[in-house]
Amino acid sequence: MRIAILFFIFTSNILAEEIIGIPRIVDGDTVQINEFKIRLEGIDAPEIKQQCKKEKLKISSIIGYTFYKNYNCGEVSKENLETKVDGSKIKCISSGKDRYKRYLAKCYKNRINLNRWMVRNGHAVAYRRYSKEYVSDEDFAKKNKLGLWQGKFLNPEKWRKLN
């Protein structure tokens, strides 16, 4: 049985809402706790049907040619968030709603900021249009070739526009 608890917190004249419960993972940047659909704020994960390219074979540095294979990076992103949450209760602190009426929130499993974890491990990108908070985490993932950064991919926002 999933239980959702909704708290209202008043800080600095801003109304924040806490939603606590065991989530259903919708995709790499969206979870649902009971009737509360929550968008992980400041990040953008590949869409469920999005395909990316992963390095399959690299032919010597002299020739410098790499073969890639397609993989479903949207599903992989979702699976990584599911594995990280592992059926545990999470706490999401919402700062408002988006145009689709989803709660925009930072979500935590214990003390781990799941938004940051997804970007830092290359399973999502910083959603620069709305926030610069996770840019350094994206830089870390890119530098260390983690997750999406192991291959080639279209930025999820661009992929949505083309599909």
What is the mean predicted confidence (pLDDT) over 40-56? 95
In angstroms, the CA 50 to CA 41 distance is 20
* pTM for this entry: 0.87
Asked if residue 63 has pLDDT above 70, the reply is no
**Domains of the chain, CATH where assigned:** 5-162 (2.40.50.90)
So what's the pLDDT on residue 1? 46
Query: What is the average pLDDT score of the chain?
Result: 91
So what's the pLDDT on residue 57? 79
Hey, what are 145's tokens? 């070739």
- In terms of C-beta density within 10 A (0-12 exposed, 13-18 middle, 19 or more buried), how is residue 45 classed? buried
So what's the pLDDT on residue 67? 86
